[in-house]
Structure 1
């Protein structure tokens, strides 16, 4: 049993989290949203789950550090300064940050990493994702997570080997690049495919999210796992023992 506080409680993920927390036998410690004092929520929580916005991350980390409790970060659209803040907080508390809390996506990323490791650069890697019309960032955090997994498997740096937003006379595809394409429309919770295209053969690894509850269940699983850990930065791979 744990008291789990939710940051970003008024969003779609916040509502899904409350349902899953209560259904799993944990206590919903309360929620915080834009303009709320997160430190008050942290003081009555055993662990925080953050699905808010990048601009709120540093203050949310400060609240978790001040209360000495773990935090699970599922917020997407993070940049270098956000990851630096996470690294700093992880010196004092357990922090788990991920682009996707789904257990299925976590396993998919593992499979992508293994496939990229075993197939040479003659196999082109393309990542296709689709989300609902209201999603504001692209590529999705999950697409980037999968891209990082592919890059790790290849032993390359994703930022130096990615192609995005192709339009017009772009020229031939760069050797060894990891391509991204983003689609937006309707109410799609999340569709991701990683295509490994070789000469005269193709492998597609994919995941379909049918409901946001899968992300909430994974986040609660991560919160359960994170409680009692030493300070440090953790991943969903560790939650699944990969």
Structure 2
């Protein structure tokens, strides 16, 4: 039985994760963390998530539940996540990270813990998205250097704070790697005014923020006479939560390392 604690347990994703753990026979909810000084500290985590009392009280510090959990799930902010990663390394815990919007320096800091803590880090925990990444790898190798323009279009709810989404960037990275290109060099994230025609090797990105869209990603391979589109649409956060719980169970017995959902799903 994998004992799981959730950071940001009172948020939209945190509440969904509680529900996902409820559906998993081999995992148990062992703790929930809210923001320091939050009025929700002391509330029953199950009641916060709408599943009824579970006898697990929300706390505002990891230290207070350090002996209660095996794996921490973190879908918060880069600064909070890195602090929690350091905590897990210090106390021999494992961690599943779904936080997006990290800078290059923050990603380097995260990776520096690979020899000190078992972690699964992925911008998207959905099984379907990670299968889509494999499809994009195949499509890019077959089409990308044969005169096909590549565009990534992503849509999310109005509250999302980073853009493009971590999933969209990951898709661009997979495509670029498959074609031997650098996304830093060939990624185009803005087109305004007289920007000129697209170049042959660029990978374009477009972002939509509107309403309550959970997450939609389409990669377009377009050439003269035809267009191929590979699309993933999420209609519920539960798909991400179930993937995160699956990752938590998978990493529970792993040695220190920097893993992703491709490893969890056996697609690597």
Residue 11 of structure 1 aligns with which residue?
A: 11
Aligned counterparts of 2:66 and 2:131: Cα–Cα separation in 1: 31
Within the candidate set 156, 166, 180, 2:181 is matched to 156
Which structure has the larger Rg over C-alpha atoms? 2
Q: Are the aligned partners of 2:144 and 2:150 in contact in 1 as well (CA < 8 Å)?
A: no
Deviation at 1:64, TM superposition (A): 0.7
* Normalised TM-score (structure 1): 0.96
Deviation per CA, 1:110-148, whole angstroms, max 9, x where unpaired? 111111122243211100011111111110111111111
Pair 42,215 (structure 1): closer, same or farther in 2 beyond 3 Å? farther
Question: Residue in 2 aligned with 1:70?
Answer: 94
CA distance in 1, matches of 2:148, 2:111: 34
Report matched runs for 1:89-238 at 5 Å.
Answer: 89-121=113-145, 122-238=147-263
CA distance 1:39–1:81, shift in 2 (3 Å): farther
How big is the shift at 1:187? Answer: 0.5
Structure 2 portions without partners, runs of 5+: 37-59
CA distance in 2, matches of 1:117, 1:159: 19
Structure 1: runs of 5 or more not aligned:
none
Does structure 2 retain, via aligned residues, the 8 Å contact 1:94–1:229? yes
TM-score by length of 2: 0.87
Counterpart Cα distance in 2 of 1:42 and 1:165: 44
Q: 1:42 deviation in Å?
A: 4.0
Give the match for residue 63 of structure 2.
39
How many residue pairs are counted as aligned between the two chains?
242
User: How has the CA–CA distance of structure 1 residues 112 and 9 changed in structure 2, closer, same or farther, with 3 Å as cutoff?
Assistant: same
| SS across alignment from 2:105 | helix
- Give the distance between the partners of 1:40 and 1:96, measured in 2 at CA: 24
Shift of 1:92: 1.1
Shift of 1:149: 1.0
Matched residue SS, 2:124: coil
SS at match of 1:89: coil
